[in-house]
């Protein structure tokens, strides 16, 4: 059953699957989705789950990023800060869950969707998906912890290049970069990630928790100490005239492409 906010929580034994289920918005994150994810994490933390899977509904989009139609009502520095703090807090919680978190990347992951993916411990993608930290195309920057998480995965130079160019990478390139951990043909994708999740869940929970805790101590998956200045920078870009001009230009391109299709 999909909760208000478009998040579905399903349990398969000791595997818990959280699905962003907003097909009408390409699985984009609205404020209600942020609250629904936080509620779902409350349930996960209170459960005996040994592995958590994050995925999107359908086969075209993992998470399209923030729901720009709804978030366009945010026009002040204060409100932009509050929005970024809310979702960064959700993804920091996801990244620091005591058990492994697997992203089953069923479709394209752009912008905030890519930030959701890198907040997970393991990323398994279908072979035809694409990924981009392309917030710069709208005159803004990653705000949900993705800057430091991406850098930890692929290195400083590669991360900076991806974020400042907004380059779209296919699944094979993402695998080579270290952004994805496994790429599986579409026909085998769901069977494979479910098999991996069930294999992880076979291990004793104490062992899984211990492994992840030791790894997180050596390689932090969340840096709340870095949040305030990054969010302040993001809020400044969000309210800037350049952002709203680039949003309007992107919308005009989408309308033109739709009319010419």
Domains of the chain: 2-206 (3.90.226.10)
Q: Is the pLDDT of residue 1 over 90?
A: no
**β-bridge partners, 74:** none
For the whole model, what pTM was predicted? 0.96
Nearest CA to 194 out of 9, 16, 40 is that of 16
Q: How far apart are CA 219 and CA 68, in angstroms?
A: 33
Q: Write the pLDDT tens digit of every residue in 138-187.
A: 999 999 999 999 999 999 999 999 999 999 999 999 999 999 999 999 99
Q: What does the block give as tokens for 172?
A: 């094979």
Specify the pLDDT at position 2: 60
Q: How far apart are CA 196 and CA 16, in angstroms?
A: 13
- What's the pLDDT band for 247 if we cut at 50, 70, 90? very high
Q: Write the pLDDT tens digit of every residue in 77-130.
A: 999 999 999 999 999 999 999 999 999 999 999 999 999 999 999 999 999 999
Q: Write the pLDDT tens digit of every residue in 184-212.
A: 999 999 999 999 999 999 999 999 999 99
* Residue 226 CB coordination number (10 Å): 12
DSSP codes joined into one string, 185-202: -HHHHHHHHHHHHHHHHT
- What's the pLDDT band for 223 if we cut at 50, 70, 90? very high
Could you list the beta-strand ranges (E) of 97-252: 101-105, 108-110, 122-126, 130-132, 169-170, 182-184
Element (H, E) at 256: helix 241-260
Strand 130-132 versus strand 169-170 pairing type: antiparallel
Specify the pLDDT at position 68: 87
Q: What does the block give as tokens for 53?
A: 């899977």
- Average pLDDT (58-64) is 96
Specify the pLDDT at position 184: 98
- Average pLDDT (219-236) is 97
- Pick the residue with more confidence: 257 or 145? 145
């Amino acid at each position: 059953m999909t909760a208000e906010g478009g998040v579905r929580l399903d349990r398969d034994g000791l595997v818990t699957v959280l699905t962003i289920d907003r097909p009408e918005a390409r699985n984009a994150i609205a404020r209600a989705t942020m609250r629904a994810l936080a509620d779902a994490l409350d349930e996960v933390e209170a459960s005996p789950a040994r592995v958590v899977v994050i995925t999107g509904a359908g086969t075209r989009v993992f998470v399209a990023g923030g729901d720009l139609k709804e978030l366009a009502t945010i026009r002040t520095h204060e409100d932009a800060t509050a929005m970024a703090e809310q979702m960064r807090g959700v993804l920091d919680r996801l990244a620091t869950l005591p058990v492994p978190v697997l992203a089953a990347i069923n479709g394209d992951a752009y912008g905030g969707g890519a930030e959701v993916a890198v907040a997970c411990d393991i990323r398994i993608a279908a072979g035809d998906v694409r990924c981009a930290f392309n917030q710069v195309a709208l005159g803004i920057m990653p705000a949900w912890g993705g800057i430091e998480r991406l850098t930890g995965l692929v290195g400083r130079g590669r991360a900076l290049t991806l974020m400042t160019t907004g380059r779209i990478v296919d699944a094979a390139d993402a695998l080579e970069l270290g952004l994805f951990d496994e790429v599986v043909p579409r026909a085998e994708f769901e069977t494979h990630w479910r098999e991996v999740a069930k294999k992880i869940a076979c291990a004793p929970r104490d062992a899984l928790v211990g492994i992840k805790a030791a790894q997180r101590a050596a390689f932090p998956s969340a840096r709340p100490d870095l949040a305030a200045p990054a969010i302040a920078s993001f809020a400044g870009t969000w309210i800037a005239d350049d952002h709203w001009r680039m949003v309007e230009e992107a919308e005009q391109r989408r309308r033109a492409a739709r009319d010419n299709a």
